[in-house]
Amino acid sequence: MKDHLKYAFPRSLPVMFGYVFLGIAFGIVLENAGFHVLWALGISIFVFAGSLQFVMVPLLAAAVSPLTMAATALFVNFRHVFYGISFVEDFDKMKKAKKPYMIFALSDETYSVLCGCKNEDPEGVHRESWFLISLLDQAYWVIGSVIGALLGQALPFDFTGIDFSMTALFVVILIEQLTNNFRKNWVVAFAAILITTLCLFVFGSDKFLLPALIVTVLITALYQQIGGQKS
Amino acid sequence: MSSTLYTIILIAIAVIITVILRAIPFAIFRGGKTMPPKIKAVADLLPTAIIAVLVIYCIKDSLLAIGSTTAASIIAIAAVVLVHLWKRNTLLSIALGTVLYMILIRIL
């Protein structure tokens, strides 16, 4: 346990700062929408998906249909389908009891930390410690959202605008993606921004996310088929 | 149905979908099956596209009603981009951008 902690804690530190901060923002946003701290606790324990949690707050507040929630969850989190691919073999080599949680807890940030771990330790000597990394990451997120939900109630400070932290998070992830493989990625990023903006004005604020995601996925697949094959 | 129960059902749906999505590759590629290269190539591009959609989703209200919030969003996003390209520190970029945005919507 001590060895696991010695390995996992320093590697989870960057996530700690990000998750506590974003978790606080989520707790405040949720609290402002009329949900008290227990909701923040429950959602952060069971959903544990940063972007979806932010996106679902107005959906919960508006008590949307189950289908809308399912479709939103499907499309907002669809990218997670591709995360596990990097870890199919690794998670299989871990203790059986750990595997379900490793899959459950594979968030954007934990995914990137584990990619780093795999990169520096290809033999997987420290693989069993990954469980603690995932657990610590989620703990930061849960603690942050509870603090946020409590602060939102207790402090007289006006937190309007703190939800920009989600925008900033996505912008940062997008930059990381773009610098990774600029030539191909900028085309799909640019197309996605154009399509989504168009859908926003055509379908309106409440209904544009789904058509925007569908068209974007189709265009991305099409681009890969005709234009992206060369590189 | 009480609104509490309904909210719990909505959350449960989000949980189930999220878990299924995260588990799909483990279900498909068990036992050393490999991905068709065509699917893999699209899979590599999708995260960028989807995150770009989410950026617009985040600023939808400031795009629909052009005004001081639009300016605040654009300036703060530009700041996040510049700070992140410069320092490559996720937390710093997010914190600075958010604080800047919160100041801007109050003074603009």
Distance in angstroms (rounded) separating the CA atoms of residues A146 and A23: 8
Q: Say if B33 is an interface residue toward chain A (CB within 8 Å).
A: no
**B86: nearest Cα among B97, B73, B74:** B97
Chain B positions touching A184 (Cβ under 8 A) are: 45
**Residue, of A72 and B8, whose pLDDT is higher:** B8
Q: Inspect the interface and report whether the beta carbons of A200 and B7 lie closer than 8 Å.
A: no
Alpha-carbon distance of B21 to B4, in angstroms, equals: 26
Q: Which residue has the higher pLDDT, A222 or B2?
A: A222
pLDDT at B35: 65
A155 has pLDDT over 50 = yes
Q: What is the pLDDT of residue A231?
A: 46
Is residue A230 over pLDDT 70?
A: no
Taking residues B89-108, report their average pLDDT: 90
CB contact under 8 A, A79 and B51: yes
Contact A76 B54 (CB under 8 A): yes
What does the mean pLDDT of chain B come to? Answer: 88
- As a whole number, mean pLDDT of residues A42-61 equals 93
Taking residues B21-33, what's their average pLDDT?
83
Averaged pLDDT of chain A: 87
- The alpha carbon of residue A32 is apart from the nearest alpha carbon of chain B, in Å, by 16
pLDDT digits over A168-227, tens only? 878 987 888 788 778 888 999 999 999 999 999 999 987 787 788 889 989 988 998 887
Indicate if the pLDDT at residue B83 is higher than 80: yes
Kindly determine whether residue A92 and residue B41, on different chains, have CB atoms separated by under 8 Å. no
For residue A17, give the chain B residue with the closest CA: B91
Q: What angle do CA A200, B9, A59 make, to 5 degrees?
A: 20
Residue from B16, B48, B75 to probe the interface with A (highest A Cβ count within 10 Å): B48
A108 vs A187, higher pLDDT: A187
Residue range A93-106: mean pLDDT, rounded: 94
Q: Which of A32, A41, A35, A74 is nearest to A210 (CA)?
A: A74
Helix residue spans in A62-163 (DSSP H)? 66-76, 88-93, 99-104, 108-120, 130-154
* Calpha distance A228→A215 (Å, rounded): 17
> What burial letters (b/e) apply to A121-142, b meaning 16+ CB within 10 Å?
eeeeebbbbbbbbbbbbbbbbb
Size of interface A-B (CB pairs under 8 A): 244
Nearest residue in chain B measured CA to CA from A63 = B7
**Nearest CA of chain B to the CA of A216: how many Å?**
7
Q: Is the pLDDT of residue B23 over 90?
A: yes
Is A167 in contact with B9 (Cβ distance < 8 A)? no
Q: How far is A109 from chain B (nearest CA, A)?
A: 11
Query: Closest residue of B to A16, CA-based?
Result: B91
B108 and A CB contact within 8 Å? no
B84–A177 C-beta distance less than 8 A:
no
Q: Do A220 and B30 touch (CB under 8 A)?
A: no
- Chain B residues inside the 8 Å CB shell of A208: 60
Single pTM value for the model: 0.71
Least Cα distance to A30 among A151, A135, A139 occurs for A151
| Global ipTM | 0.83
A69 neighbourhood in chain B, CB within 8 Å: 10, 13-14
Distance from CA of B65 to the nearest CA of A (A): 11
Residues A109-153: tens digit of each pLDDT? 888 778 778 777 878 899 999 999 999 999 999 999 999 999 876
Kindly state whether B99 is in contact with chain A, defined as any CB-CB distance less than 8 angstroms: no
